[in-house]
Every structure is written in structure tokens, then in C-alpha cells.
A and B are shown apart, each in its own frame.
Chain A
Amino acid sequence: MVLQIDKDHQRFRRIVKGKIREDLRKFLTRSELLGREGRKYISIPIRGIEIPHFRYGDNNDSGVGRGDGNAGDAVSGEGGVGPGGDQEGQHVLEVEVGLDELAEILGEELKLPRILPKGKHRITAERDRYSGVRQSGPESLRHFKRTFRRALRRQIMSGLYNPDAPRIIFERRDKMYRSWKTILNPQSNAVIIYMMDVSGSMGDEQKELVRLEAFWIDAWLRKNYHGIESRYIVHDVRAGEVDRETFFRIREDGGTRISSAFRLAKELIAHHYAPSEWNIYLFHFSDGDNSSESDSRECCALMREHLLPLLNLFGYCQVASAYGSGNFINVVHEHLSGIDAVLTSRVNTKDDIYDSIKTFFSAGR
């Protein structure tokens, strides 16, 4: 039954989305979102949606209660009438929003084009579903109930059926078999490989930026692809693959050799992700402080010759750090300029994430 209120409800949801859009830049930097990647819904506080009235403030800091207690005892229990302590926060409406809805808002607001999956690489999953019956087939698929019913019906019609001594004998023409249909599931598969520099110069603050950026990259790509995979590589002088938890928590010391990560990414792709079947996204986060100029050059060579032909996009995101030269981004610009699949951005503060996402995805790759 369609309820009359659905219209009002939809209108309300649209208003909520509008509010989120207004505050998107602020919203992108909310670190509370982290750790909720797995969930389908997140609840978002929406301000200023309710209709204002002239009303008493929350400095009505007294009231009447009921229960035990002597003068001076704290009023126990939540839900007492009274101020919540913080200035705002009290009348903030929490609204549940789906992650894909959020990604859609992000896409609309940043004017991100839909990603066009590599056309010919669209793979198709085949699946058989038993959905019907037919009159021929292997005995293993014989549908007993239907077969029995047909035999019974035939015997009754032809007067062979004796209720006192019921004996049903199948004939060839009674037999029914299950049949299947092959369902073609068009699917576009994508893998995101995140690489992060975890050398001594990457502090907690930098990692936080990386996490936020990664969260939104993930949200947007998930919106565009079904079945997305993520792989995580960390590196200092050597590179290793880690799980997501470790990726964001790990802290190493030591130098930086970015080429190690690129090499590992190359291997990973070679082993698991045939570029004909996968849309591959490679993101690298670093403070741009590579150990040597020659390694930086090697990185670019590796990228140009081996990796770029396989990728949809290589995004390099350089976070500001107190240490180091932050030179890698310049090297990338120098050696890989003019290649569409290479995009770079600098993220110095949380506020830059908005623009960074926009840089990476506005080409719709």
C-alpha cells in the first residue's frame, strides 16, 4: 500500500540531501566517518533543518523531578530535562543516509562524470538457475513430484488407477526434468590499489588525511562499480602488502624508496588482475620525500613502461609533511606530464580533500 506520507517523506529526504550538499566541503573532512566504511548506512547530523520558533533556551537549568535523593545528590539517569552541556548538539537531527547516496551527492556536487568502465573488458558472470521444467533431460534432474503427478493423472484418466491398491508406474511420457536458464550477469570489476609511504616522515596527521581521502575514493568508486576489490601496499625502503587495518595504523621508520612499491604493484597486477578484465586504479600517498633522485626517475620509468598501460588511473596524492623536500610530485610532473591517466594533487589540510577528489575523478576514468 502506498502511504500518503511517502511524498512528504521523499520531500524530506531531498531536503536532507540538499543540506548535505551545502555542507559537503565541511562534511568531507569529518573524521567520524572513518571506520564506518563497511556499513551501508551512516547517520549524519543535519543542522538547521527544523523550523525555528521563538522558544526558551536551554538555560532553563532547573526543573522538577521525582524519586529518591537528598539535597545535593546528582539527578541520576539520562533523559533528564536540562542542558546537554555543549552549545549546540542538542537539537541536531540525525539522519541515516546510505553510503551510495552520499557518493551520489559527492558526484553531483563535484560534478564528477560517471566513470565509463573499460567497454570491451566488461566481463560477464554466467550463472545457471533452475527455473523451469521440460520433458527431456538426465535422470539425475528428474522432477519426481511432477512426474508422479502426471503418471497419476494419466492412470486416473485411463481408468487404471485402483484406490485400494494404488500403484503408479511411470512411463517415458510422464517424466519431467528440471531445466535451467543461463543468466548473464554483466559486471564491471575494479580493483583499487592503495600505496602509502610509511617512512618516518609520515606522521599520524598525514595518515589521517590519507584515510579520509581513501574513504572518499573508495565511496566514489564503489558507487560506480559492483564488486570492487581493494589492495593495500605500504612501503619505506621495501614494500609489502598489508590488510586495511594495518595500512592505516602501521608506523615505520627509515628511508623511502618509492620504486619498491611500484614494483610490488606491478607484480600484484601481473598475478591477479588481468588488465583485460579489470579496471585498475592505483593511488599513491606520500609526503614526496624520496630517498634519491635516481629512484624517483626509476619510478617514472616503471610507471610509464609497465604500469600505465594497465591502469585506468594513477593518482598521486602528496600530503604536506613537516620534514623532507616533497619533491616527488615535481618529478612526476616533469616525467609524466601530458599523460591523461596520471593525476596529481596536493593535500595540505583536510580542506584540500574536496579539490583532490575532484582532480582525480573529474576526467571520468
Chain B
Amino acid sequence: MHTILPQDIVKQAESIADYARREALDFYPTVFEILNSEQMSQVAAYCGFPQRYPHWRFGMEYERLRKQHKYGLGRIYEMVINNNPCYAYLLSDNMPVDHKTVIAHVYAHGDFFKNNIWFSRTNRKMIDEMANHATRIRRYVERYGMDEVEQRLDTFLSLENLIDPHSAFMRREGNSVSTEEKKRRADDEVTRYPAKGYMDRYINPPSRIASDRAAAQAEVAKEKHRFPEKPVRDVLLFLLQNAPLEDWESDLLSLIREEAYYFAPQGQTKIMNEGWASYWHSTIMTNYVLRDDELIDYCEHHAGTLATSPGQLNPYKLGIELLRDIERRWNTGRYGPKYDACDDMAVRREWGKDKAPKGRVVGRGSPGREKIFEVRALYNDVTFLDEFLTPEFVDDQKLYHYRLDPATGKMVVVNRDFDKIKQQLLFMLTNHAQPYIYVMDGNYRNRGELYLTHRHTGADIEIKYAVETLKRLQKVWKRPIHLSARIDDEPILFSFDGEQSTQQHIDDGMEMPAHQF
């Protein structure tokens, strides 16, 4: 869907790009396209890509977006794709000032994509890759029929969140140590207490050495039968390598996995990414671009983007405020051991005031600005909040912790306790709010059954969905599937053997999987 961009927008984009570069933003070349709302809904349903494989879920999303736009419930101002060149879409019925804001916003996203470390392993030719995926899947549709392919896609998509976003940064273990080698090592490692020669056979009696050695050997022997060797978080990879799949099915699964890994960093850096883009559209618009007659509209839309409703956190708002707070703190020297040790609130509040230029600290070259550039390169949402959320910030932003009051069934404010709020925020962001699922045993009970475990980090998984997902997983693994999870503090084993779904309490009588937490 190629559209010709109006000349005035091209010119504005160029001049805004200049301002952005002047502010040291560093982004890929960016291609803007202008779309009407129908087209925007399509592109948004496809997550910004012009070409995706055929699947009804995109149609569902499209209908939702179109309806939302029709009833005025929401409007997609902008979309931008992490790609080189970066692609961004403008909505045709937006006002010129909106276009400018969006363009500035987009360049900052582009800078983030290019420089944040979590994006460093993503495919920068993803538009082509997605189109290739679409072609490959269409070919399978021609060969095996839509129903067959769709059924596989539905199954695999159900598992798409079972990846390990960190795995891109882990060094693969080389060839794993052979069992023989391990046996030899086990021999060496048997504990020998230091002793003088004549005392040795009393301090390290041969009988104990022998029994220790036997135990170590047994351990190694047991390990030999462990499959996988360690708990595996990248369940999709495990399935790819071990599940009985036809070649074309593996191919489908592998490209769903590839897309999941491509999108993962966006889930990991939502707050930072949007905060960064908002910070820069605000800075560029107010410092360079905004005309007097556009001020009101700009303010209204900027405020709309950053608006929070009670009980909800807006990632744009949280992100921009935290970035500004970091900038301010580093400009006034409010960091480091000396500052941290100071517990006089009055002193803290005045800290570094003399260092700060008058008014809000902005500007190139200031230590604050340099700090946030560093932050945008190295952090993700979890580490960002973990490191930079301060009690003062929580207080300033009027954050609170709420909880369901069982008596009234309503959400009530519990308190404004910093530790609690931080803990809650981090919990909400960890693993971008997906449960941790590990493969614990690929040969459970020596019957080729798959045993997964949900590592409980504070919240239970939803039973209804878990049961359905297990059914789909069973279609892939083709042998019975088990999932152990803690529900209401009780360990429960969910199983599906292809016909029957069962749930049982885990007790000592049950065989344990190869690994346990």
C-alpha cells in the first residue's frame, strides 16, 4: 500500500530529523507512510507489518480496531516498526501538528530500537522476513490446505509466549561434557581431607572413599538419564528439537518462535521505549518545532497521551516522568553513596540546587542528559524501575498500592509504601507479565511424557487457560503432558493424555520429574 507522502510532511520530517540529530539522537533512516483509518487498522492488526501470514486472529484484531475507531473509543496515532530502515505510519486525518509530534516521537523510537541493548539481537530486516514467513506459510497452505495449516498455527500460537527472552544473550554451552569425562571428574572430586601420610588411611578411610565414589558415580549415572540436562525455559526450542513434528510443522513452529523473539524486547521495554519517545517529542516540539497557533492542540494531545486514570498506570507517563527524574537527579548530583547515606529529608530536597541552572534542567551535554542516554542504551523496564525508582519519585507521582478488598469486592488503596509499590511494579513487569514455564522432564516416568513446571513468582496461573493450552501442547508432543503449578498454595499436577484432562494434588507418592526447583 504505497502512498505518496505530501511534500510538506516530507520537508517537516527532514527538519525534525535534523533537530533530533542535533540532540544526539541516532536512528535508522525512517520511511513514513500516510494511511487512512481502514488501512491503519489493517497495519495495526498486523503489528505494523505490511505483509503477514494468513491467520484469522489478525482479522479479529482488525475488527476490534475498526470498531474502536468507528465509535471514537481509541485512535491509533502512530505505528513504528523496528527495522532498518525504520517504517512509520501516519494517520491521514490527523492534524498537521499531530503529524509533527508523531514524527518526533517516531525518531526517538528509532533511536531506542537502534541503541538499546535488548534490541541488539533483533532482525533489522524484519519486514522482509515477515513477508518471507507469509510466503512460506502460503506455500504450505497450497500444499496442505488452509484447514491443516490453520490448525497447526492455532496450536503453535498457543505456545508462543514460552520463550526465554534472555537466551539471545546467553552463550550456548559448547559440546556438553561427556558422561565418561564426568565419571572421571567425579572420581577426582571425592572429598579427601588433608592429612599427613601416616594418618591418611584413618582420616580418609578407603571404605568411605569407596562409598563416596560410588555415590558420585550413581549421581552421574542418574544424570545420564536426565532429559533435558537442565530445566529448559525456551519450551519452543525444546519442542523444535525433540517433538515429533513433520518438517513443515517444524518450519511453522520455528517461524512463530522467531517472530516471538522479535517482539519480545518490545514487551520488555514498553515503559522505557514510550517514555523515551514521549520525552523527545516533547523536547523537540517545545524547543524547535511548535508554532504559536498549534500550541493548544499540541498540549491537548500530549496531555491525552500521558493521561492516567486511577487504578491504571500509563507507561508513557511513568516512563517520561522517570526519565526526567533521572535527568534532574544527575544534574543536581542526587546520587552516589553520599546522597544515599543522607537521611535528612530537608537536605535531600535541597541537594544540589546550587548546581542546577534555573528552572527545569534540560540541555545537551548536561550530566543528566548523558545519564539518560546511557539508561536508554543499557536498561529494560525491570532494571530501569529497580534502579531508578525512588521514594521521592513515588511520592511526587502519587503512586499507591491497591488491592482487592474481599469484604466489598472493590479495589481499595492499601498504602503508599515505597517498598510495596516497587515490589508490585517489578512483579507486574517481570517476564513481561508472562508466567515462567520450564521443561523439567522430557521423559517423565520413562514413558516419553512431557513434564512442565510453572515457577511460582507470586501469582497463580489461570486454570481454565492452562488446561486448554495443555491440550494444544499435547497435539505437538503427542504423548501425555503434565504441568505442575501452585494454585492457592497447593501443588497441583495438571495432565492431559490426549483424551482426558486431569488435576491432582501432588504428593510424595508420585514420581518426581528429572529436575525440581
Contact = CB atoms under 8 A, between A and B. Distances in A.
Interface of A: 1, 3-5, 7-13, 15, 48-49, 51-83, 85, 93, 95-96
Contact of B56 (A11, A66, A81): A11
B414 A62 contact: yes
A63 B462 contact: no
B63 A9 contact: yes
Contact of B310 (A5, A12, A49, A75): A75
Contact of A65 (B39, B51, B63, B413): B413
B434 interface: yes
Contacts of A60: 459
Contacts of B56: 8, 11-12, 15
Contact of B308 (A67, A76, A78, A96): A67
A67 B398 contact: yes
Nearest to A59: B460
B400 A62 contact: no
Contact of A62 (B38, B51, B401): B401
21 contacts: A3-B39, A4-B51, A5-B45, A12-B63, A52-B466, A53-B160, A53-B465, A54-B434, A54-B454, A55-B434, A65-B313, A66-B314, A67-B398, A69-B400, A69-B413, A72-B413, A75-B402, A79-B312, A82-B311, A82-B404, A96-B67
Contacts of B466: 52, 54
A53 B39 contact: no
Contacts of B312: 65-66, 77, 79-81
B402 A56 contact: no
Contacts of B460: 56-57, 59
Given A4-B42, A66-B308, A66-B398, 11 more contacts: A53-B158, A53-B469, A54-B161, A54-B483, A56-B460, A57-B462, A61-B404, A62-B404, A65-B399, A66-B399, A71-B412
B310 A55 contact: no
A155 B72 CA distance: 57
B159 to A, nearest CB: 8
Contacts of B311: 63, 65, 67, 75-77, 79-82
Interface residues of B, number: 70
Given A52-B158, A56-B435, A10 B308 contact: no
B437 interface: yes
Among A56, A60, A82, A85, residue most surrounded by chain B Cβ atoms (within 10 Å):
A56
B218 interface: no
A93 B54 contact: no
B402 A11 contact: no
B415 interface: yes
B102 to A, nearest CB: 22
Main secondary structure of the interface of B (DSSP, over half): mixed
B54 A68 contact: no
Contact of B54 (A7, A59, A72, A82): A7
Given A54-B466, A57-B462, A80-B310, A64 B60 contact: no
Interface in B291-314: 308-314
A-B pairs with lowest CB-CB distance, top 5: A80-B311, A12-B59, A61-B404, A8-B59, A9-B59
A69 B416 CA distance: 10
Among B401, B411, B454, B460, residue most surrounded by chain A Cβ atoms (within 10 Å):
B411
A307 to B, nearest CB: 47
A181 to B, nearest CB: 36
B158 A64 contact: no
Interface string B467-489: 01100100000000001000000
B403 interface: yes
A58 B150 CA distance: 29
Contacts of B330: none
A62 B412 contact: no
Among A48, A53, A57, residue most surrounded by chain B Cβ atoms (within 10 Å):
A53
A91 to B, nearest CB: 9
Given A64-B424, A72-B412, A56 B310 contact: no
B462 A62 contact: no
A75 B54 CA distance: 42
B55 interface: yes
Given A62-B404, A65-B313, A54 B461 contact: yes
Nearest to B50: A4
B389 to A, nearest CB: 11
A77 B309 contact: yes
B397 interface: yes
Contacts of B416: 71
B162 interface: yes
Nearest to B64: A93
Contacts of B433: 56
B379 interface: no
Contacts of B314: 66
Among A49, A57, A76, residue most surrounded by chain B Cβ atoms (within 10 Å):
A57
A67 B399 CA distance: 6
A55 B465 contact: yes
A3 B38 contact: yes
A64 B1 CA distance: 41
B154 A56 contact: no
Nearest to B43: A5
Contacts of B39: 1, 3
Among A64, A68, A75, A83, residue most surrounded by chain B Cβ atoms (within 10 Å):
A64
A82 B411 contact: yes
B222 interface: no
B203 interface: no
B461 A55 contact: yes
Nearest to B153: A51
A75 B410 contact: yes
Contacts of A83: 404
Contacts of A76: 310-311
Contacts of A65: 310-313, 399-400, 402, 413
